[in-house]
Amino acid sequence: MPEDPGRRPPPRVAASAPHPSGPAGGRTTLIPALRERQALALSVLAALVTMTLKLGAWYQTGSVGLLSDALEALVNLAGASFALLMVIWAQRPPDRQHPFGHGKAEYFSSAFEGLLIVIAAVAIFVSAAQRLLHPQPLQAMGLGLGLTALATLVNFVVALLLLRSGRVHRSLATEADGRHLMTDVWTSIGVAVGVGIAWLSGRLWLDPVVAILVGLNILREGWELVRRSFDGLMDSALPDTDITAINAVLDRVCPDAARFTGLRTRSAGRNRFAYVELHVPGDWPVSSALQPMEQAERELARAGITLTIRLRQRSG
C-alpha cells in the first residue's frame, strides 16, 4: 500500500487570521488594534499611572474604599507586566521540545492574574473589617474623587484598546487584561459613588461596605480568569463557529466517493488545530486523495487553523 499521507509531520503553524471585527470582517471601528506587545506595554504604563493616582486618592482621604480601588490597580500592574512577559514567550517559534509552539504560555498569565486578584481581595476584606470596627472620618474628598475619576478615564481608554487588540490577534492574555481593566473601570465608578454617599451622608460604615463589595466583585473576576486558563490548558475544543467553518470547508472539497470523519479540535493560545480522517476507496491512487487534502489545509490555514488529515483506504 502507498505511504499513508496521514503520517506526514503536522503543517507549519499558520499565523492567526484577523478576527471578524478587524478589517477582514468588513467592519470599521474608531478603536485601533495594536500589536499584543504594544497593547500590553501601554497597559503596564497605564497601570503605573492609575496606581499612583489611586494611591494618592487614598492617602488624601483615608478611605478604605479608595484603598481597595488602589489595591486592584496594583494587581493590574503586576498582571499586565506578567502578561507582557508571557506574550513575548508565546510568540517564540516552534522548536524541538515544543513542536506546536509556545502559545499556551498565555494561559499562565490569566491564572497568575487571577491569583493576584484573590490576594488583593483578602487584603481588602481585612482592611474593611478593621474600618468597620474602628470608623474614621473622610478628608479631602473632592481631591480624592477627582484623582479617582482621572484614573478611571485612563483605564477606560486602555481597556478598549486591549479588548480590540486581543480579539483581532486572538490573544487570551491581551483580552483578559482588557476585561480585567474594564471591570476595574466599573469598580472605580461604584467605589466613587459609594464613598461619595458615605461622605455626604455621614454614614461612615458605608465606606468599608463599599470596599467589601469591591473585594467580592474582583473575586468573581479572578475566578473567571482562572477558569479560562484551566480550560485552555486542558485543550478545550474550538468554538461552534470555528467547527461550523471547518465542516463547511471539508464538505466543499470532499470528493463524492470519499468522506471526512472524526473531526477533533483544540486551541493553544491563539493557535487553533483540527484533526480529521479522510476515508477513500481502496483502489484510489494516493494522488487522487492529495488534492482535496491539500486544498482543505490551505483554506483553513488562511483562517488561522492548522489542519492535520489522516488518510484511510477502505477495503473492497
Chunked mean pLDDT (size 10), the chain, 316 residues:
41 38 43 73 89 91 86 79 74 70 65 75 83 82 91 92 81 74 83 86 86 82 71 73 91 87 80 87 81 89 87 74
pTM, full prediction:
0.58
| Domain boundaries of the chain, sorted by first residue | 31-233, 238-314
In this predicted structure, what is the pLDDT of residue 17?
39
Q: Do domains 31-233 and 238-314 have the same CATH topology?
A: no
In this predicted structure, what is the pLDDT of residue 52?
92
Which residue, among 107, 140, 118, has the nearest Cα to 232 in the 3D structure? Answer: 107
d(CA 58, CA 46): 18
Which residue, among 262, 256, 239, has the nearest Cα to 311 in the 3D structure? Answer: 262
In this predicted structure, what is the pLDDT of residue 107?
67
- Enter the C-alpha cell of residue 314: 477502505
CATH class of the domain defined by 31-233: mainly alpha
Torsion of CA 228, 68, 72, 233, to 10 degrees: -20
Which residue, among 102, 18, 113, has the nearest Cα to 74 in the 3D structure? Answer: 113
d(CA 170, CA 184): 22
In this predicted structure, what is the pLDDT of residue 49?
93
Q: In the CATH scheme, what architecture does the domain 238-314 have? A: 2-Layer Sandwich (3.30)
Q: Beta strand pairing status for 305-314 and 271-281?
A: parallel
Which residue is it, cell 451622608? 201
- Enter the C-alpha cell of residue 102: 509556545
